[in-house]
Chains A and B, each alone.
Chain A
Amino acid sequence: MTPTLLMALILLLPLATTVGVVAFGRRPNLRETITVASGIGLFLLVAMLGLSPDWMDAPRLLLAEPIEGLPIAFSAEPLGLMFALVASFLWPVTSLYAIGYMRAHHEQNQTRFYAAFAVSISAAMGIALADNMFTLFVFYEVLTVSTYPLVTHAGTDAAKRAGRVYLGLLMGTSIVFLLLAMLWTWSLIGTLDFTPGGVFGDESGLVLGTLLVLFVIGTGKAAIMPFHRWLPAAMVAPTPVSALLHAVAVVKAGVFTILKVAVYLFGIDTIADLAAADWLAALAALTILLGSLVAMTKDNLKARLAYSTISQLSYIILGAMLGVAAGVVGGGMHVVMHAFGKITLFFCAGAIMVAAHKTRVSELDGLGRTMPLTMLAFLIGALSIVGLPPFGGTWSKWWLVQGTLDTGLWMLTAVLLISSLLNIAYLVSIPVRGFFVAPAAPATGVKEAPLPSLIAIGITSAGCLALFLWADPLYRLVGEVLQ
């Protein structure tokens, strides 16, 4: 199969899954088999795309051209392939997890849940393979709209309020800032195509700096402060949604957008010259620290994880704003590493909620005795996020620290190291207390989560380890961006 055909299939398969899910909505087993099977199929397709010999030079897939010079078109490049690989690998895993979780939790409207999930994945694939900023924007908005029913799944007043914050911030920033940045770019240079080395010419630093700020804060999905509130709000969604979408697909779509803008619209050399990039790096550093500090104050486990995500996303923004190769490599790898670590943590949080009916960190003392596997996985995920060997997070943090050293901004180096310490304090402490502190009251009748969920947890925590041992292909893939 040619790469172009593969790209078409990658975009269509999740949509076809939606149709299948809706058609067999009344037969849960078949419906969920379809979801998992097409998830595996999607990953294989993305892998085939990456393995086909001339995938980077393949002709782009042109869907339509609403405005002259501004087509909806797709092409594959290393960053996008990496994002697509992560999202498509974790989709079937999350679906497997969801089977256990949704049934054990007796959630309503599960067909709608799986259908919206598949549409969201399709949108994520569109973002990953977007050939220009316009296409990316189209699917960015599709992703916002298609995840909205997932966030408000419970239908309660709290869910409705969260939905308003979610939609208001994500769509509001994207319309007012991101779209403005795109329009301005278009009116300046007449193209939004992603081009290696950037598209800008000799525009003044002030204009470019303003544009960069608009692009970064307009990408609300990257949750840079002060536009982060939607992410904690989105935690009212069922845990599989928080796991895949609000630790992987949606938020990674955000930072992926920023990486693409930095590398393919501005070019890292331009970024290196822009004072605005330094300010944005400082804002990202602030978000890293504040996110970690707020996370420490949160007793609700999912809220703590959400603020941890906000903090970790800014690592990637920071990497993109450094304007050095190591920063981009570190940021790109962190997309993958954080995805595996954080999804493991969310899986565990959901497993604890389903099996032990606990949502607060303060209730988890001694839980390691009744749910040892879950707590072990939590420890692995947490260590990977902190960036300790032998887990994948080590490498991305390594390159990010390297990037800050290359630029000589030692303050940023300090921020990264302090943040790692904070991560230990608020993440690693949870499983430690789970294993070593005696429970307040002896737990009765608590056992491990349902088997499908456990398998999923096992896969992602094994992934954290595997990414430490075999990080080289990933490194080479991201490295190709800078060729």
Chain B
Amino acid sequence: MSFLEHLPVLIVIVPLMAAPICVLLDRPRLAWLVALIAAFSSLFCAIALLSQVLDGSVISYELGGWAAPWGIEYRIDLLGAFVLLIVSAMAAAVLDFAKASVEHEIPTDRIARFYAAFLLALAGLLGIVATGDAFNVFVFLEISSLASYALISMGRDRRALNAAFQYLVMGTIGATFILIGIGFLYMMTGTLNMQDLAERLPAVADTNTVRAGFAFLTVGIGLKLAMFPLHLWLPNAYAYAPSIVSAFLAATATKVALYVMLRFMLGIFGVDFSLHEMPFAWILMVLGVLGILSGSLVAIYQDNVKRMLAYSSVAQIGYMVLGIAIATTAGVTAAVLHMFNHALMKGALFLALGAVVYRLGSVRLNDLSGLGWHMPWTMAAVVVGGLSLIGVPPTVGFISKWYLVIAVLEHGWWPLALVVLIGSVLALIYVWRVLEVAYLRPRPASAPPVSEAPLSMLIPVWLLVIANIYFGIATHLSVGSAERAAALLMGTAPMGGAQ
């Protein structure tokens, strides 16, 4: 077997193996370098995988040469490869930025372990996407979750410990629910392989066990996804985590949870069962709308900018959930597209805030006074990221909103279109609160002088900012992949009868 054939597993193994190396080296700089190399290797694997499945083919890989259903199958289709690209690219971007930021925020003797935890989280997230085995999803979910609890607890603010504990409790409940759900499915079908599950479930779909499994999985994934009203762990976790952890988790963790939802609900249970037989679509629609409105409204009243962005994430997850709830290919396209686009915006914004923390030590709104003139490049990045969040063309945010509203209007559901657009206006309000303080309020004379963030931070931030505009203009990759991934999900759904 050639090297390329092992890509589906290499993308997970490399960061997984790099993590203990970081701990063994125990040197901050070396650990950073190892993490960076691992992340870029994963990114390379993700690009190679995506280019292989772009035509709609599927890569199946037998772990250790054991064929399914005895062995574990890794299965990469277009949706998976697309999410792998998002996760590994964001990891690479965040790690580019990380060196100075981590040295600033984490005690020196813990830096190596910090990078180890970061790599474990990355490996976990990648594994969830790469695997074709339901139980394996749970295993990787736990790896990534445990690593993220540790990462969040390393925040400088003592409240980070509380936030991590809160996340741990809710996350564990979520993981347990997922495990119970998978257990029910196993009970009824005797398999854990996703393909087999999808094949065998229709025969037993009309049982309470399967329905209960479906319910457990929905709630469990909803918790990991921070879907309204299961989002309560998210604001604190994002607000008090170290800067690069906020950026990484905001850009990737919820996206992977959304992937799991798509995979289980549409891929395994099937479109007909999930969206038509169960009242799943309606529930998602209501929760999505409530998430958009409540997340945006609460964001307006936040004084901590990171917390504000966290609530904005709750709203953005609402958009993605709404996309699935539309239950058409166009809707799922919008959801998958927003996964990609939202990763770009939130990555750029959280990293820019990381630069602010590096110079200022705070992200409270009042402390940002006049920062637009003292850190012009950083704040300009916040401007573009903010415009993207609002959905102003030509940024990625606009493309997301466009596809989502068009999908809604296909059904003639114009009140939902209004909800999406009102969400944009609310985003305008919370973004502009920050910009007004940063640009129009003079920096108090008593405040210590600040200077622009170092170039090593500005470059990754601006790479993401430029990506926000680039993918807002040249949408071939993002829209093309999302469209085809959605078509595969909706069309090849086992119970949809399309196959």
B-contacting residues of A (Cβ < 8 Å)? 64, 66-67, 72, 134, 137-138, 141, 145, 149, 152, 155, 159-160, 163-164, 167-168, 171-172, 175-176, 179-180, 183-184, 186-187
* Contact indicator B442/A155 (Cβ below 8 Å): yes
Q: Which residue of A lies closest to B429 (CB)?
A: A168
Q: Of the candidates A67, A137, A145, A152, which one forms a contact with B479 in the assembled complex, judged by CB atoms under 8 Å apart? A: A67
Bound-state CA distance A145–B395 (Å) is 14
Q: Which residues of B contact A137 (CB under 8 A)?
A: 393
Q: Is B221 an interface residue (CB 8 A)?
A: no
Minimum CB–CB distance for A257 against chain B, Å: 15
* Contact indicator A186/B406 (Cβ below 8 Å): yes
Q: Which residues of B contact A159 (CB under 8 A)?
A: 440
* Contact indicator A145/B392 (Cβ below 8 Å): yes
* Contact indicator B432/A167 (Cβ below 8 Å): yes
Query: Which residues, 362 to 408 on B, are CB-close (under 8 Å) to A?
Result: 387, 390-394, 399, 401-402, 405-406
Q: Which residues of B contact A179 (CB under 8 A)?
A: 401, 405, 421
Minimum CB–CB distance for A98 against chain B, Å: 22
Query: Which residues, 305 to 359 on B, are CB-close (under 8 Å) to A?
Result: none
Minimum CB–CB distance for A455 against chain B, Å: 34
Q: Which residues of A contact B424 (CB under 8 A)?
A: 175-176
* Contact indicator B418/A180 (Cβ below 8 Å): yes
Bound-state CA distance A141–B399 (Å) is 15
Bound-state CA distance A63–B332 (Å) is 29
Stretch at the interface among B63-71, B455-463, B470-478: B470-478
Minimum CB–CB distance for A426 against chain B, Å: 33
Q: Which residues of A contact B286 (CB under 8 A)?
A: none
* Contact indicator B428/A167 (Cβ below 8 Å): yes
Q: Which residues of B contact A187 (CB under 8 A)?
A: 406, 409-410
* Contact indicator B406/A163 (Cβ below 8 Å): no
* Contact indicator B428/A67 (Cβ below 8 Å): no
Q: Is B422 an interface residue (CB 8 A)?
A: yes
Q: Which residues of B contact A145 (CB under 8 A)?
A: 387, 392
Q: Of the candidates A138, A168, A175, A186, which one forms a contact with B391 in the assembled complex, judged by CB atoms under 8 Å apart? A: A175
9 smallest CB-CB distances across A and B, nearest first, come from A187-B409, A64-B473, A138-B393, A183-B405, A176-B421, A175-B424, A172-B425, A66-B475, A141-B392
Q: Which residues of B contact A138 (CB under 8 A)?
A: 393-394
Bound-state CA distance A310–B391 (Å) is 29
Contact with A along B413-427 (1 / 0, CB 8 A): 010011001101100
Bound-state CA distance A171–B442 (Å) is 25
Q: Is B303 an interface residue (CB 8 A)?
A: no
* Contact indicator A176/B418 (Cβ below 8 Å): yes
* Contact indicator A180/B417 (Cβ below 8 Å): yes
A sample of 29 inter-chain contacts (CB < 8 A) reads A64-B394, A66-B393, A66-B394, A66-B472, A66-B475, A67-B475, A67-B479, A72-B394, A72-B473, A155-B442, A159-B440, A160-B436, A163-B440, A164-B432, A167-B432, A168-B428, A171-B390, A171-B392, A171-B425, A172-B425, A175-B390, A176-B422, A176-B424, A179-B405, A180-B405, A180-B418, A183-B402, A183-B417, A184-B417
Q: Which residue of B lies closest to A172 (CB)?
A: B425
* Contact indicator A183/B394 (Cβ below 8 Å): no
Contact with A along B126-165 (1 / 0, CB 8 A): 0000000000000000000000000000000000000000
Minimum CB–CB distance for B410 against chain A, Å: 6
Q: Which residues of A contact B475 (CB under 8 A)?
A: 66-67
Bound-state CA distance A187–B417 (Å) is 12
**A180-B421 CB under 8 A given contacts A67-B402, A168-B428, A172-B428:** yes
New A-B pairs, 20, CB < 8 Å, besides A66-B475, A172-B425, A184-B417: A66-B394, A66-B473, A67-B475, A134-B393, A137-B393, A149-B439, A155-B442, A160-B436, A164-B432, A171-B390, A171-B425, A171-B428, A175-B390, A175-B428, A176-B418, A176-B421, A179-B421, A180-B418, A183-B405, A187-B409
Bound-state CA distance A64–B475 (Å) is 10
* Contact indicator B387/A66 (Cβ below 8 Å): no
Minimum CB–CB distance for B389 against chain A, Å: 13
Q: Which residues of A contact B391 (CB under 8 A)?
A: 175
Q: Of the candidates B390, B406, B474, which one forms a contact with A183 in the assembled complex, judged by CB atoms under 8 Å apart? A: B406
Q: Of the candidates B392, B414, B422, B474, which one forms a contact with A64 in the assembled complex, judged by CB atoms under 8 Å apart? A: B474
Q: Which residue of A lies closest to B402 (CB)?
A: A67
Q: Which residues of B contact A149 (CB under 8 A)?
A: 439
Bound-state CA distance A167–B402 (Å) is 21
Q: Which residues of B contact A183 (CB under 8 A)?
A: 402, 405-406, 409, 417
Bound-state CA distance A134–B472 (Å) is 13
Bound-state CA distance A186–B417 (Å) is 13
Bound-state CA distance A39–B432 (Å) is 32
**A66-B405 CB under 8 A given contacts A164-B432, A167-B432:** no
Bound-state CA distance A298–B392 (Å) is 36
Q: Which residues of A contact B401 (CB under 8 A)?
A: 179
Q: Which residues of A contact B402 (CB under 8 A)?
A: 67, 183
Q: Which residue of B lies closest to A210 (CB)?
A: B414
Q: Which residue of B lies closest to A160 (CB)?
A: B440
Q: Which residues of B contact A134 (CB under 8 A)?
A: 393
Bound-state CA distance A159–B440 (Å) is 9
Q: Which residues of A contact B417 (CB under 8 A)?
A: 180, 183-184
Minimum CB–CB distance for B402 against chain A, Å: 6
Q: Which residues of A contact B422 (CB under 8 A)?
A: 176
Minimum CB–CB distance for A164 against chain B, Å: 7
Bound-state CA distance A167–B439 (Å) is 15
Q: Which residue of A lies closest to B412 (CB)?
A: A187
Q: Of the candidates B392, B432, B440, B474, which one forms a contact with A66 in the assembled complex, judged by CB atoms under 8 Å apart? A: B474
Minimum CB–CB distance for A423 against chain B, Å: 35
**A141-B393 CB under 8 A given contacts A179-B421, A186-B406:** yes
**A184-B421 CB under 8 A given contacts A72-B394, A145-B387, A175-B391:** no
* Contact indicator B440/A155 (Cβ below 8 Å): yes
Minimum CB–CB distance for B431 against chain A, Å: 10
Minimum CB–CB distance for A36 against chain B, Å: 27
Minimum CB–CB distance for A457 against chain B, Å: 32
Bound-state CA distance A72–B393 (Å) is 10
Q: Which residue of B lies closest to A152 (CB)?
A: B440
Most buried by A among B417, B421, B429, B474: B421
Q: Which residue of B lies closest to A179 (CB)?
A: B421
Minimum CB–CB distance for A185 against chain B, Å: 10
Q: Which residues of B contact A180 (CB under 8 A)?
A: 405, 414, 417-418, 421
Q: Which residue of B lies closest to A167 (CB)?
A: B432
* Contact indicator A66/B409 (Cβ below 8 Å): no
Q: Which residues of B contact A152 (CB under 8 A)?
A: 440
Q: Which residue of B lies closest to A63 (CB)?
A: B473
Minimum CB–CB distance for A368 against chain B, Å: 39
Bound-state CA distance A164–B440 (Å) is 12
Q: Which residues of A contact B425 (CB under 8 A)?
A: 171-172, 175-176
Minimum CB–CB distance for B372 against chain A, Å: 10
Q: Which residues of A contact B440 (CB under 8 A)?
A: 152, 155, 159-160, 163
Bound-state CA distance A183–B416 (Å) is 13
Q: Which residue of A lies closest to B394 (CB)?
A: A138
Q: Which residue of B lies closest to A135 (CB)?
A: B393
